[in-house]
């Protein structure tokens, strides 16, 4: 389904930018923080999208996606977490595991896909840049600060602050030295608002890390407020349940 003008306007007041051409499937239930921008993409995940992340047009975030972290840049045409098919069975067709639409409810109850064959959900870390037309397969975890070059097919996990490219995606190089990466992982700068990061010399990595360490020690960095909404075919609603909020924000401690 697509959202009407009223829902889009209500989302904007909550700090969430939705595109009128965005499509949300019936199965979708997305936990989303304010300051997220979602263009004309197709969402079918039961997962989450963190603050200051944006998804550009023409992509698909499918049901095998668990989370997209904060400050992520998702380029046009990206597909994440689509379904998987067996390669060593009699056939690749989903009738074998009683997929919806091919069998009756009774048949489905007795012919479920074996749990051992289901790959883990896709997890995208924070400050991840995924280039145009990338495909991220089920079971993949992409670490904080990683970069995936345009047109790549990601079949394996990507370590934090690593650049990968190709079909299948292979390591090109780490973004920084091991020492800088260790310090960045300890800083977790994505816990904080952009306003409290202003003035950091972003283009000089050693100076930037040192300045962030100084601000963190001085406690001048402002944490992103713990505000959470749920996006579904029923519209956008605030998440008030403490258990659900606690589970979500536990990753940002």
Which are the catalytic amino acids? 85
d(CA 210, CA 219): 14
Asked whether the beta carbons of 163 and 143 are under 8 A apart, the reply is no
Q: Which of 189, 41, 34, 60 is nearest to 122 (CA)?
A: 60
Q: What Rg do the C-alpha atoms of the chain give, in angstroms?
A: 20
């Amino acid at each position: 389904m697509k959202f009407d003008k009223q829902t889009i306007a209500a989302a904007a007041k909550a700090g969430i930018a939705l595109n009128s051409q965005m499509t949300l499937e019936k199965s979708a239930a997305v936990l989303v923080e304010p300051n997220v921008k979602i263009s004309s993409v197709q969402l079918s995940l039961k997962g989450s999208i963190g603050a200051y992340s944006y998804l550009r047009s023409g992509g698909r975030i499918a049901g095998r996606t668990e989370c997209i972290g904060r400050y992520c840049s998702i380029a046009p045409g990206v597909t994440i977490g689509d379904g998987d098919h067996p390669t060593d069975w009699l056939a690749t067709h989903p009738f074998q595991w009683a997929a919806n639409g091919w069998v009756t409810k009774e048949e489905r109850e007795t012919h479920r896909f074996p749990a051992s064959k289901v790959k883990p959900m896709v997890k995208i870390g924070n400050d991840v840049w995924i280039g145009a037309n990338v495909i991220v397969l089920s079971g993949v975890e992409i670490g904080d600060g990683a970069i995936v070059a345009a047109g790549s097919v990601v079949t394996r996990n990507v370590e934090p602050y690593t650049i990968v490219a190709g079909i299948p995606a292979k390591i090109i190089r780490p973004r920084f030295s091991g020492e800088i990466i260790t310090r960045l992982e300890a800083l977790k700068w994505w816990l904080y608002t952009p306003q409290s990061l202003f003035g950091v010399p972003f283009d000089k990595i050693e100076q930037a890390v040192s300045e962030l360490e100084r601000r963190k020690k001085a406690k001048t960095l402002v944490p992103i407020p713990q505000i959470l909404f749920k996006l579904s075919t029923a519209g956008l609603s605030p998440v008030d349940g403490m258990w659900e909020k606690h589970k979500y924000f536990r990753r940002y401690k």
